[in-house]
A and B are shown apart, each in its own frame.
Chain A
């Protein structure tokens, strides 16, 4: 298994990249750029525009100041000034510092002021290294909003949705699905904060009536910032599983004073379709009963997943890797649930090698466990993903996500594998 996690520094870069027409600049050594710019290409797609010269080297995503030891010793903000002179006509520049660079105390504000680029720009002052990815993602967006947004007059019937990070597989599909539900309740989304909104949409986000969370851990700071701009946040249940998605819809409808019926009809239709598939083969209703799974995920999505696996499929956890980044409250709730199904000993500091039927994890661990026969099917639910080319969307949240997980579970367990 992967003993360390995708952390807040890397998530900061993707949070900035999540602004569709934003421009992320990395201030630090080139080695820190490689994986993050590649990751950005996979997570949020933009047309490939070849850019040559220093800072880019043929790749337009996440240009970098390419610092060396000399820069660490003597300071390097002039490189940032020079880089900014090359960015051209972009809507927003966000500067992220690498862990090492954040220690040398470059005067980045001064560097930005001295640059030829006069558009809006934000500097992330504190590197979110070794912090949870959710915190890094959240803090970055919160800082950007604080820097560029101001209070606005409210527009009735509008909302922001936040806490759906582009780090999440199939985020675009989830966004489409949830947008559909919101529209059916007469709500218009001003900005999908952190999920591909444009700079202009971000500027308008303080005009929304309220914010709706998807994964709360990814938007707590952002919620506070928007609260200070007069936009309260509805922390809705995580829309995972059919029931979880319904609960999310109901919570939003209640807050908006709208009817959830149309949205619930849509989810019911999809739920029925899944049920029919399971009921249509001889042992469909009981195939998963008593099967086992393990989980190695950093996100607090673990709890709705574990509950759903129990309530929907009667499957039981063999091992759930405890993540040091979970809040004590979250861990307590998870422990309590596991105790209630007599699986209290499933929580472990490390993912065990004990065989299980399914493994929910990052793509790499899932791949390795599946290849080595330690699980029958590995289901990738967090970075790094093995299936990086997203021709087929593989959402995790919403009813679409539920169908994907069901598909992975049933085909993983009950179809022949070719190795």
Chain B
């Protein structure tokens, strides 16, 4: 069995050539299977007396799995040629390339590729626009590829692209059959094509003339080879069939692809000679696969995290089930594990999903999205955010237009969040993307209340939204003379969001660089005064934070400062007995706010003998390494241990280092007083821990 694919620009006559060549080969007694790989599904029409047949993709869409039979999509045509059409979505929706992949899987799994044919002829859509349309040119499908072109530049450009596509799949086996010139009657047409063919090192197999008999035979629902045997066009088709017979008998007669670069194609367009330098080698635009380059999260998840904590907002995930499930479950499980509240609500209460399937990836997911929006509107949702996952982006669903039209239809507020999975970048990109839309819901306020403060919740760690506001934080904020106006991001509702601009001050819950950038942006939008110091972690930070409040508001907070300082000394004293004189190595991520930690170690009498940056923490590796910092590895930690013999390693790496020295995951304490004291207590206990727990032995 020999597999041949005909490629070429759309409308160039591939289907006519394919059908004629199939017929010519069948006339020579060969058993042929012709597969049309074009959504417009007209490849086999001339072999079927002008009739169109059920396409594979329509069949798969409309027929339950248990009722499918491969013979339902195979028709017998002229010359006993077996005909199959892939079909595909309507123009402008879905993904036709995915359709081709689906069709080949169906054909393969139903054994059609193993049937006893002499030749498989694939008639493939125009340019190689995506991997789906490149399937037939892969080695496991096509033994030979013929390119149909005219003398028009765009047609030659498409031919060159096809050669580029083949170069990507080149494994050293020659697989290009040659060029077929289907004349358009242009001036010097043959010379242009000949120049291109010579430049890419391919022969012109046949020249098909412009001829009225093509139109006449089509009107009869036949190939020209069948309707006008022996005519000039039929003879041109016969030459292609002869070439196929010859090359299928001896594949060494096939050619390697040598596409041209853009400058080379420019020369072809001008009818000039091309140099060797214009020929491309195997070269693909590649993303690097180094550690810093990797994206560990997606914008989709970031957007979801920002939205999912606003009561009164419903989120529609436009994507497959797994995207919604993975992202929301991950957040929700952490919240539930940490929650002590009986009334906690699940993020799931405000999320639904269009559950896109493989079929949607071919035909688009518009209907599913519209249906779900209507359903949610009927249930009374007034604010809907539609967040798109990778699949929705790749298949090109226009969620902006859908949201606009559905907003009019249902009379509710619908906001498209077109992050398309990773298309907009990582988690932080998703959060930023959605921020503006969220803050559009706030109500402007010109008279700020200086007793009110907004807490800008932690964007960074998904699980910290819920846990960072313990009672001691509230106590600290009240000690500074403030009432909390709103917490965002964090569990909130639309009414609270609306009143965000009322507060004169805002404070960040976390002081990291990335958080500060995003927090500042949010604060600018609501027009409050952002405190320089975030919610304090550590005793020094508490004092500093209270001092900043004093200078901003003119309040006297000396009593509060003294109260905290004295309680700190009192509660730290028994812990210090365990820790004083101990030596530690620090392995900290660069983005962590370490001032509180080193202060605490000082207060506990612990000496830091060596400190290194742990850029290996997966969420930070890309960010920090991109700034030229060295990526830390486990081996670096081992070396530090051998050199400094510390009593312990304190690290915020996720890995269990399993070294023969005490190790502790640092994490970040809650801001405020109790978070710090809890942390200090745990640190103290660590130095009384066995070096190696029994289970490790």
Contacts and interface: CB of A to CB of B under 8 A. Distances in A.
Contacts of A48: 656
Given A100-B390, A104-B394, A57 B294 contact: yes
Given A10-B322, A31-B300, A110 B169 contact: yes
B296 A419 contact: no
In this complex, which of B133, B320, B356, B634 has the most chain A Cβ atoms within 10 angstroms of its Cβ? B320
Contacts of A102: 98, 101, 358, 361
Contacts of B325: 2, 4-7, 10
Contact of A52 (B169, B322, B391, B616): B616
A279 interface: no
Contact of B320 (A9, A34, A67, A372): A9
A3 interface: yes
B394 A72 contact: yes
A68 interface: yes
Interface string B105-136: 10000000000000000000000001111110
Interface string A16-27: 000000000000
> Which of B132, B329, B341, B345 has its CB near the most chain A CB atoms (within 10 A)?
B329
B289 A54 contact: yes
Contacts of B627: none
Interface string B657-690: 0000000000000000000000000000000000
A316 interface: no
A105 B336 contact: no
B391 A69 contact: no
Contacts of B346: 1-2, 364-365, 368
Given A30-B296, A30-B297, A31-B298, A373 B342 contact: yes
A110 B343 CA distance: 53
A127 B291 CA distance: 27
A110 B295 contact: no
Contacts of A386: 333, 336-337
A319 interface: no
A103 B319 contact: no
Interface in B180-197: none
A165 interface: no
A100 B421 contact: yes
A32 B654 CA distance: 19
A9 B319 CA distance: 13
Interface string A104-131: 1111011001100000000001110111
B330 interface: yes
A311 to B, nearest CB: 32
A68 B295 contact: yes
Interface string A357-395: 000000011011001110000000000101000000000
Interface residues of A, number: 68
Interface string B319-333: 111111111011011
B33 interface: no
Contacts of B456: none
Given A54-B291, A386-B337, A105 B296 contact: no
A103 B101 CA distance: 8
A35 B319 contact: no
Nearest to A70: B287
Interface stretch (B142-150, B245-253, B347-355): B347-355
Given A53-B291, A72-B390, A110 B319 contact: no
A384 B301 CA distance: 18
Interface in B457-478: none
A74 B284 contact: yes
A364 B348 CA distance: 10
B357 interface: yes
Given A52-B634, A79-B289, A103 B97 contact: yes
A137 to B, nearest CB: 13
Contacts of A107: 131, 134, 138, 168-169
Contact of B352 (A3, A53, A373): A3
Contact of A103 (B95, B291, B296, B298): B95
B291 A368 contact: no
Interface string B609-639: 0000000101001000000000001100000
> Secondary structure of the A side of the interface?
loop
A364 B333 contact: yes
A257 interface: no
B329 A2 contact: yes
B422 interface: yes
A130 B336 contact: no
A213 to B, nearest CB: 18
Contacts of A69: 422-423
Nearest to B319: A99
Given A106-B131, A367-B336, A66 B353 contact: no
A58 B618 contact: yes
B284 A103 contact: no
A258 B422 CA distance: 57
A81 to B, nearest CB: 10
Given A129-B391, A368-B346, A58 B655 contact: yes
A344 B330 CA distance: 35
Contact of A36 (B100, B138, B320, B326): B326
A54 B290 contact: yes
A75 interface: yes
B395 interface: yes
B378 interface: no
Contacts of A57: 291, 294, 296, 616, 618, 621
B301 to A, nearest CB: 6
A29 interface: yes
A105 B101 contact: yes
Contacts of A127: 358
B171 interface: yes
A102 to B, nearest CB: 8
B328 to A, nearest CB: 8
B81 interface: no
B401 interface: no
Nearest to A74: B285
B344 interface: yes
B171 A105 contact: no
A35 B357 contact: no
A78 interface: yes
B643 interface: no
B394 A100 contact: yes
B339 interface: yes
Contact of B391 (A50, A100, A368): A100
Contacts of A72: 390, 394, 422-423
A71 interface: yes
Contacts of B291: 53-54, 57
14 contacts: A3-B348, A4-B321, A4-B355, A30-B295, A57-B616, A66-B294, A68-B422, A78-B286, A99-B319, A103-B132, A105-B100, A105-B135, A129-B391, A372-B344
Given A58-B653, A100-B390, 4 more contacts: A31-B295, A74-B287, A75-B168, A99-B391
Interface of A: 1-7, 9-10, 29-32, 34-36, 48, 50, 52-55, 57-59, 65-72, 74-76, 78-79, 82, 98-100, 102-107, 109-110, 113-114, 125-127, 129-131, 364-365, 367-368, 371-373, 384, 386, 419
Q: State the 6 A-B residue pairs at the shortest beta-carbon distance, nearest first.
A: A105-B131, A100-B390, A129-B320, A31-B298, A66-B294, A7-B321
